[in-house]
Amino acid sequence: MKAKNTKVLLIYTGGTIGMMQDAKTGELKPFNFNALKHQIPELNKFNTELHSISFEKPIDSSNMHPKTWVRIAEIISKNYIKYDGFVILHGSDTMSFTASALSFMLENLSKPVILTGSQLPIGIIRTDGKENLITAIEIASAKRNNKPIINEVCIYFEYKLYRGNRTFKYNSQHFDAFKSPNFQCLAEAGVEIVYNEHAFLKRQNKALKIHTVLDNDVAVLRLFPGISKKITSAIINTKGIKAVVLQTFGAGNATTDTWFIDLLKLAIKKGIFIVNQTQCVEGRVVQGLYETSTQLKKIGVISAKDLTFEATITKLMFLLGKKLNSKQLKTEFQKNICGELTE
């Protein structure tokens, strides 16, 4: 499935995959991308032309910001015609947020954008970084009938390729760090790479369009038994807030205390967009299934369905950036834009 003259652009943002261990302190510090290529000589064996762009100052993914997502999207847009695929080297901690954001920002994407990284630095003998990077490049360069096999934003980690906006990081200790709880993986790498093509997004034949205006005036209210009125009120009444992700129990259930419902109702009347997103990692919100979610539905709280937390946050930032009115926002949020939710 490799094609001659295929060109892949590596975008190095930082993360563990590009870290080296200080011999004296044991502290992990970033190093130049050229050192990464030196550590993986196998990259020279690819039947693919590889180019790279490296952030001048590699960043830890904990410092990831919407401005960085815009920067990555602009790099892809600027180089979109020249390359057949893109591999983004990124820290694993916020990789699912970046993958989700890019899936919304890169409209009409028809080429692979693969994010990958590692749990151990490249310089360590047992690193998972080499396999992750090598296979990510192989997938990014894979073609059939002279067209890329993958045409969406994905995460490749520990032998599996996932739809990026369906993932979350669930493990900080094992190489198998990501899960896609409500959607199957797109490919599995063994002796061969097996693609689950029936799960792919429909190929787009329109020109790439990038969205670079994101609005991060979003808050999160995670419920727990005994949550107080003053804390709830403080979050919902934060100055300038435009949307609240209400992390509920089970299938979208919340306390039915009058003060709680009244606070939400007042916020919605003020124009604050409130989304019901379950704390469960699998399953979906079904408002009205139980009495404890019926009132939320009645007052205008919107179901996140089976969106991940990462996709919920980034989708809100994306849609708020489009300056939609409340009716349009409600309609667009409930749409399946790029495979992020199950209809």
Residues forming beta bridges with residue 70, ordered by sequence position: none
Contact indicator for 41, 177 with CB cutoff of 8 Å: no
Is 315 exposed, middle or buried, given 0-12, 13-18 or 19+ CB atoms closer than 10 A? buried
Q: What is the torsional sign of CA 174, 154, 180, 194?
A: negative
CA-atom Rg of the chain in angstroms: 21
For residues 312 and 314, give the distance between their C-alpha atoms in angstroms, rounded to a whole number: 6
For residues 129 and 136, give the distance between their C-alpha atoms in angstroms, rounded to a whole number: 10
249 secondary structure, DSSP code: B
Task: Give the C-alpha distances (Å, rounded to integers) separating 191 from 101, 138, 140.
Answer: 32, 13, 18
Catalytic residue among 6, 13, 16, 48: 16
Q: What is the torsional sign of CA 301, 303, 309, 315?
A: negative
Would you state the structure tokens that stand for residue 9, as one six-digit string? 């652009």
91 secondary structure, DSSP code: -
81 secondary structure, DSSP code: T
For residues 313 and 293, give the distance between their C-alpha atoms in angstroms, rounded to a whole number: 21
**Closest to 137 (Cα-Cα) out of 87, 99, 187:** 87
For residues 175 and 122, give the distance between their C-alpha atoms in angstroms, rounded to a whole number: 13
Strands 153-157 and 113-116, sheet pairing: parallel
φ/ψ (deg, to 5) at 142? -70, 130
Q: Is 16 considered catalytic here?
A: yes
- Which amino acid would we find at residue 13? T
Contact indicator for 197, 145 with CB cutoff of 8 Å: no
**Among all residues, which ones are annotated catalytic?**
16
